[in-house]
Amino acid sequence: MFSFSLQPKKVKLQLRLGQKKIDGLPATALGLVAQTTVSKGHENATAENGPWMITLDAPSFIFVMQHARNCAFHEEVYRAYITQASNGDLDNTPIINQILKLRLKKAKLLNYNNYAEV
Question: pLDDT tens digit string along 53-106?
Answer: 888 888 888 988 999 899 998 898 999 888 887 877 778 888 899 999 999 999
Total-model pTM? 0.67
Terminal C-alpha separation, the chain? 21
Q: For the segment 27-63, what is each residue's pLDDT rounded down to a tens digit? A: 888 888 888 888 888 888 888 888 888 888 888 889 8
Q: In the chain, where are the structural domains located?
A: 2-85, 91-118
State how far the Cα of 97 lies from the Cα of 88, in Å rounded to an integer: 16
Among 1-5, 20-24, 76-80, 81-85, the range of highest mean pLDDT: 76-80
Give yes or no for a contact between 14 and 54, defined as CB atoms under 8 angstroms apart: yes
